Amino acid sequence: MGINNLIEFDFMDAPPSEAMITALFQIYQLSALDPDGLLTRLGRRMAEFPLEPSLSKMLIMSVELGCADDILTIVSMLSVQNVFYRPKEKQELADEKKSKFHQPEGDHCTLLAVYNAWKHHHFSPQWCF
């Protein structure tokens, strides 16, 4: 598009300046922008994904680090609203079953544990209930 300065760009409906600066700083921290505010090679690759910038970088780096399968699974699970079913009449039971997947390393590893358990059960729809 040839836009080199988003701060001074004449948007039809401009976002608040503070939000724009915060967003630019975040993608700079992800190495998607160079010190002049231009997209880096990594930034151009990240822009190809219809994802949040941090998830795009995670996918790209996972290939280099040899963990793309697990990261692709995690990113997919983060891209849906909620993978846990919690019916009103069985909330306690649902919470108990969910706790069995808890991973102390964090929520991302918990999601991966859920997926791997489902995979172990041959992706059975009944396993989910």
Domain count, the chain: 2
Residue 129: CB atoms within 10 A of its CB come to: 10
Mark whether 48 and 87 lie in a shared domain: no
Give Cβ neighbours of residue 56 (< 8 Å, ≥ 6 apart). 45, 46, 47, 48, 49
Residue 90: CB atoms within 10 A of its CB come to: 13
Looking at residue 54, which CATH number applies to its domain? 1.20.120.1080
What confidence tens digit (pLDDT) does each residue in 10-38 have? 788 888 889 988 999 999 999 999 998 88
In a domain, 9, yes or no: no
Domain hosting residue 41, numbered range: 15-66
Residue whose tokens read 């948007």: 11
What confidence tens digit (pLDDT) does each residue in 108-126 have? 999 999 999 999 999 998 8
How far apart, in Å, are the Cα atoms of 67 and each of 59, 82, 104?
A: 9, 23, 19
What single letter denotes the amino acid at residue 110? T
What confidence tens digit (pLDDT) does each residue in 57-110 have? 999 999 999 999 999 999 999 999 888 888 899 999 989 989 999 999 999 999
Mark whether 61 and 103 lie in a shared domain: no
